[in-house]
Amino acid sequence: MKGLVGAILATSCSAVHAQSCENPIPICGDIPEPLSLNFVQSLDIACVNSPYVSVLEFMTNGNLVNTGNATVEVGGVACQTDGVEDVIELVVVKPNPQVFCDVDSYELVATCGETGGAFTVVTEDLLPNTTYLILVGTAHDPSTTPCNLTLFLSGPAVSIDACCTTNIAPGQSVSLNVTGGNEDLGYTWFPDLGLSSTNEAEIIASPPVTTTYSVSGFFGGCQYTDAVTINVGTPVGIPTSFTPNGDLVNDYWSIDGLSQYNEADIRIYDRWGQLVFRSVGYAQPWDGKNGGKEVPVGTYYYAIDFNDPQLVGLETVTGFISIIR
């Protein structure tokens, strides 16, 4: 829980932190950061050239393949003079780690935001394991009225990525993995139902029933969580009967979720093994007819092959369907 405690402290202690580049406020992804723009400091870079500038810092994840971007949302703005919203300036930069406060070395990684009220700034793709600064400024004099707002940092650059939600047959296993966190600090998977390990980046899951696993990892003093769901058994809802009698109620064998499997092969046989219906994909559910003629009332046998690579180890789904009129 070290990372979580750090994240909570980072949020709760903003008011006592200095807000300069020498001691910036740490901000974690997906945790709102309340901020009061009252720190007397002037930084001149892009649109930020106000007398009250606060500096926040965040670190990107360790995903070496694709770190991704980050989004900074400015909301909860209470910064007015005579009832008119004052302008808030914000830019995200990559500092030189050797000379953290050298503004001339700052590299802009996002279009500058400059407006009154709420707005959003999206960065370009960021480097992994790298510290970035968020500069927020205003010309508002906090001695007259406060200038408060909330920053919300999110996006793939400040998250971990667990893979992958999938379907398996009962008794089957599937490999799960997570990327982006600090490998030295490890990960924590929960619950431990059917897991080969609860603290590795790559594990084997053999859940007896459909289970959602959450996994937590750490970087930049922050805790991040993602989740995957392993569906066990048939991934669709198959009715055991229907009534194709023309009353517009339950006239079709409607299978919940089957339409998303475009390559699914659906076959229905009578009790003598004769094929009475077949469809690849299920855009048009079965209406209880064979060649345009109604089939007799009774019980029929179905077989469904999903033909989807995501359905790991799932064999042909079979069962019985009753026609009632």
pLDDT band at 234 (very low <50, low <70, confident <90, very high): confident
Q: How far is Cα 13 from Cα 19, in angstroms, rounded to an integer?
A: 11
Indicate the fold that domain 2-157 takes in CATH: Jelly Rolls (2.60.120)
Region 15-40 average pLDDT: 86
Q: Is a pLDDT exceeding 50 seen at residue 6? A: no
Region 38-51 average pLDDT: 89
Region 232-249 average pLDDT: 90
Q: How far is Cα 93 from Cα 102, in angstroms, rounded to an integer?
A: 12
Indicate the fold that domain 161-232 takes in CATH: Immunoglobulin-like (2.60.40)
pLDDT band at 315 (very low <50, low <70, confident <90, very high): confident
Is there a shared CATH topology between the 2-157 domain and the 241-323 domain? Answer: no
Q: Is a pLDDT exceeding 90 seen at residue 311? A: no
Indicate the fold that domain 241-323 takes in CATH: Immunoglobulin-like (2.60.40)
Question: What is the pLDDT at residue 166?
Answer: 84
Q: Is a pLDDT exceeding 90 seen at residue 128? A: yes
What's the whole-number average pLDDT of the chain?
Answer: 89
Question: What is the pLDDT at residue 10?
Answer: 39
Cβ(75)–Cβ(156) under 8 Å? Answer: no
Residue identified by tokens 């809802």 is 237
Q: How far is Cα 277 from Cα 259, in angstroms, rounded to an integer?
A: 17
* SS3 at position 200: coil
Region 42-55 average pLDDT: 91
Note the pLDDT tens digit of each residue in 132-164. Answer: 999 999 999 998 899 999 999 999 999 999 998
The ranges assigned to domains in the chain are: 2-157, 161-232, 241-323
Among the listed ranges 20-34, 229-243, 303-317, which one has the minimum average pLDDT value?
A: 303-317
Question: What is the pLDDT at residue 313?
Answer: 67
Q: Please report, as a single letter, which amino acid is at residue 7.
A: A
Q: Measured at the alpha carbon of residue 168, what is the angle toward residues 165 and 169, in degrees to the nearest 5?
A: 160
Q: Is a pLDDT exceeding 70 seen at residue 76? A: yes
> Which residues neighbour 267 within 8 Å (Cβ) at sequence distance 6 or greater?
275, 277, 278, 302, 303, 304
Question: What is the pLDDT at residue 162?
Answer: 94
Q: Is a pLDDT exceeding 50 seen at residue 300? A: yes
Q: Using H for helix, E for strand and C for coil, what is the string for 231-271?
A: EECCCCECCCEECCCCCCCCCCECCECHHHCCCCEEEEECC
8-22, 104-118, 164-178: which has the highest mean pLDDT?
A: 104-118
Q: Is a pLDDT exceeding 50 seen at residue 13? A: no
Question: What is the pLDDT at residue 233?
Answer: 81
Taking the model in full, what pTM does it have?
0.73
Note the pLDDT tens digit of each residue in 167-213. Answer: 888 888 999 999 999 989 999 999 999 999 999 999 999 998 889 99
